[in-house]
Amino acid sequence: MSGTDDPMRGPRDQAMDDVPEEVREAWAKLGAAEPPDLVDLAVLNRARAAVERPRSGRPWSFGWMHTLTTTAVLVLGVTVLMQFREPAPSLPETRPAPQGAAPEREMDAPRASGTIDHELRRMSPEALDRVQGRNDAAAAAAGAAVPEAESAADEADLMSRKSESGEPAPLRLRDLAAPVEEAPPPSPAAAPAPIPMTAPEADAEEAKQAQPLQERQEVRDPDAWLEEIRALFAAGELDTARKQLEAFLAAYPDHPLPEDLQP
């Protein structure tokens, strides 16, 4: 595994025989570490279980029953919905009111202005107040409906103007699902030449390395990184976002990827 003819060693590794033979020998004498059999068994069982096909919960002979049940439930649901559905509001009737009906009810029907004046004169003061209150409420409702309609119209207008002006449309899921272009691997020739470190630099580097890993902040938090990638997608910076996503997958190959960032 650690021989000098290791195919994983790059050209730079071949040029630098990094670990002296005496260190390799002493290392080998540390003893081969082997996982216990029970751990082996647990891992292999877990691996097998992960790729086992889930068994069908229902035998095939009951398939028709499942279809029938689904259809019956659907029909029943539609029937119940139709039963509970309220009739549409009808227009006010224009037929003349019968003689002796309550004056307030008579006001519901449209009449000629002369007839209305005549009727109003006949009404009691309480009935007049009630009619006035009802008219005020109707006027208020009509006033509220107008701004709503205006705002809806404004929104539609804005959308059409956006599409005409070529402004980017809001990001959709299919944009996120576009294939990620893989960056070509860096060629060995393009790699920068090693720069020999001076003594103070080397000391500083060693001091930094002597610091425990957990105290350093060089490990990027995966969740925060994913949030940044999501923000890049939302801002429309698709190329940068995809490159970041690719780098994330290389750095955290086992981290679960949210649904909206799946490549």
Partner 1 sequence: MNGDSDEALMIAYAQGQAVAFEQLYARWRQPLYAYFRRHAGDEATANDLYQGCWEKVIGARRRYRHPPPFRAWLFRIAHNHLVDHWRAQKPSAPLPPGLAADEDHPGESLDEQARQARFRAAVDALPDDQREAIVLRLEAGLGVEQIAEVTGVGVETAKSRLRYATRKLKEALQS
> Under the rule (CB under 8 A), what is the footprint of partner 1?
1-3, 6, 8-10, 12-13, 16, 18-20, 22-24, 26-27, 29-36, 39-40, 42-44, 46-48, 50-53, 185, 191, 194-195, 197, 202, 205-206, 209-215, 218-219, 249-257
Q: Give 126 or 254: the residue with its C-beta nearer to partner 1.
A: 254
Q: What SS3 state is found at 175? A: helix
Q: Give 43 or 78: the residue with its C-beta nearer to partner 1.
A: 43
CB 107 within 8 A of CB 119: yes
Task: Please spell the DSSP secondary structure of 112-176, one letter per residue.
Answer: -HHHHHHHHHHS-HHHHHHHHHHHHHHHHHHHHHHHHHHHHHHHHHHHHHHHHHTPPPPP-HHHH
How many Cα neighbours within 13 Å face the side chain of 49?
Answer: 6
**H/E segment holding residue 25:** helix 21-29
| Alpha carbon distance 164, 121 (integer Å) | 59
Q: Give 103 or 222: the residue with its C-beta nearer to partner 1.
A: 222
Min separation Cβ 261 and partner 1, Å: 12
Min separation Cβ 8 and partner 1, Å: 5
- The one-letter code for the residue type at 250 is A
Q: Give 159 or 251: the residue with its C-beta nearer to partner 1.
A: 251
Cα(first)–Cα(last) distance of the chain, in Å? 35
Min separation Cβ 218 and partner 1, Å: 7
CB 119 within 8 A of CB 103: yes
Min separation Cβ 17 and partner 1, Å: 10
Q: Give 43 or 120: the residue with its C-beta nearer to partner 1.
A: 43
Min separation Cβ 185 and partner 1, Å: 7
